[in-house]
Structure 1
Amino acid sequence: MNTAAPPAPFRYAERLPHASLAPRITCYWEFTAREESPRVHYVPPDGCTSLLVPTSGPHAGTLLYTGPWLDPHTVLVWPGARFVGVRLRGGTAGVLQLPAATLLNATYPAVHIGGARGRELQHALARCLMGSDGLDRVARALDIFWMQQHATFLAPDPVVHDAVNALVDSNGECTIAVVVRTVGCSDRTLLRRFRAATGLTPK
């Protein structure tokens, strides 16, 4: 008797960026839906901002900025849908040159909200993502692109950078009191600077 489990309706995969990009980029990712998949996908909040491009459907090739999200949100998918994206590390809104709170609980086309930077990324990332079929090739193309972009990144707030590292390295177990001692500032200063840089609170 064949007891093999049926294939999952969705497929999700990640690739790590080049080590030099890790302070800014968490991962590259790919999401695909099978023909029999449900038409709605629920995405849990992870506190990050993503850049994503659907590679099929009516918005194929359109670069979208999305998140950070405080609550789970729904994404409409269709048979054969494929999305490829870049997940930014918290506190690195300078990559987009856009206030972090602008994207809180929202998704926008880059060309509508990102100004000249959004239009630049739209053209560059669409070429990277649409021109490579597999995620490994996409990751290599994106590594090359982002490493050429270093000079355009705005410097992150060092307090927020250290706070994010403390939270991520502890898998979210680090208390705010410990974070405050680690970064060397008051609770109020941490909250103000963290919110400005990420659109979120450390909690």
Structure 2
Amino acid sequence: MFRFHPRAPHAALRGLVRGLWHYEETRAAPQGRREMPCAEAVLLINLGPPIGVAWPDPTAETRFDTAAGFLARPHPAPARSFMQGSQRGLQVMLTPLGAERLLRCPISGVPAQFLDLRDTLGRDGASLAARLAETVDPETCLDLLEAELLRRLAGDPPADAVAEAWMRIEASAGRIGIGAMARDLGLSRQTLVRRFQARTGLTPKLAARLQRFTGVIARLPEVPEAGWAGLAAEAGFADQSHLIREVRAFTGLPPAALLRKRLPDGLGFAE
């Protein structure tokens, strides 16, 4: 059993929050998953039994108890998650600029490891998580979390070259030329790369690659009728070989092997 309750981010969170959802899962046996790389920071609050997550070291599992959670910066390598049979939680996908607003500092300054919920949401984080864990209704949980995000991310999103570059990369699903975009923004390529990496922890090229990769994962429930070459064209890759190289680079597996690891109900990839 898996119940997924997504919510479209509030208009005031545009450019800061990519996705927001409540989830609840029950399985007959423990389950390990290979979590896909992404260009967003992941904020997770565990509301159910303890779970384990391994990132960036795939062999070092961190346990998160009920009403605990973390922020993980954008990561170009898979993470691993483990549940004993059931789990419940809230997940927010923050753009790097959203994470910057939440933390009051650039996400590039956050170590490549889990940032504790208290360090992410401040001293009110623990009390909010405890209240969420006691709340059964998914919509009420989402209301509470969205209100906290709106409070912490209040005001207009930043309007600068880095923010504009991020929005263009995201809007194009990673198909934009970085050099041409830099010129259009009135910057040299080197200046854009330097400023973008200082704020997001990613180069513009890596951010675009991750966006294209995310597009592949979204289209991966089954091999398209046109085959891998058709999927490569749909997702903005030069050709089938380019797609295979990128999927292998981000997951350690070629697309066909990754597809074989997809869980029967389509809810992620088995570890």
Give the TM-score, by structure 2 length.
Answer: 0.61
- Alignment partner for residue 123 of structure 1, among 94, 102, 126? 126
- Alignment partner for residue 83 of structure 2, among 65, 72, 77? 77
Please show how residues 1-203 of structure 1 align to structure 2 within 5 Å: 12-36=4-28, 38-58=30-50, 59-92=65-98, 93-103=100-110, 105-111=112-118, 114=119, 118-123=121-126, 125-127=128-130, 129-151=132-154, 156=158, 158-203=160-205
Secondary structure at the aligned position of 1:81 is classed as strand
Question: How far apart are the structure 2 equivalents of 1:22 and 1:180?
Answer: 22
Contact 1:91/1:157 (<8 A) preserved? no
Deviation at 1:11, TM superposition (A): 5.3
Contact 2:15/2:157 (<8 A) preserved? no
Question: How far apart are the structure 2 equivalents of 1:18 and 1:63?
Answer: 22
Deviations 1:167-196 (A, max 9, x none): 111111111123213322111111111111
In the comparison of the two structures, how many residue pairs are matched?
A: 190
Question: How far apart are the structure 2 equivalents of 1:100 and 1:186?
Answer: 23
Question: How far apart are the structure 2 equivalents of 1:64 and 1:97?
Answer: 16
Deviation at 1:64, TM superposition (A): 0.8
Deviations 1:31-67 (A, max 9, x none): 4332235521111111111211111224111131112
Question: How far apart are the structure 1 equivalents of 2:204 and 2:182?
Answer: 10
Aligned-pair identity (%)? 24
- Stretch deviating more after TM superposition (177-186 or 10-19): 10-19
Q: Which amino acid aligns with 2:27?
A: E
**Structure 1 residues 202 and 13: alpha-carbon distance in aligned structure 2, compared to 1, 3 A threshold:** farther
> Hey, what does 2:265 align to over in structure 1?
none
| Runs of at least 5 residues in structure 1 that lack an aligned partner in the other structure | 1-6
Give the TM-score, by structure 1 length.
Answer: 0.79
Deviation at 1:165, TM superposition (A): 0.6
Q: Which amino acid aligns with 1:86?
A: V
- Stretch deviating more after TM superposition (142-151 or 38-47): 142-151
**Structure 1 residues 78 and 38: alpha-carbon distance in aligned structure 2, compared to 1, 3 A threshold:** closer
> Hey, what does 2:210 align to over in structure 1?
none
Contact 2:13/2:150 (<8 A) preserved? yes
| Runs of at least 5 residues in structure 2 that lack an aligned partner in the other structure | 51-64, 206-271
**Structure 1 residues 182 and 96: alpha-carbon distance in aligned structure 2, compared to 1, 3 A threshold:** same
Secondary structure at the aligned position of 2:97 is classed as coil
**Structure 1 residues 172 and 12: alpha-carbon distance in aligned structure 2, compared to 1, 3 A threshold:** farther
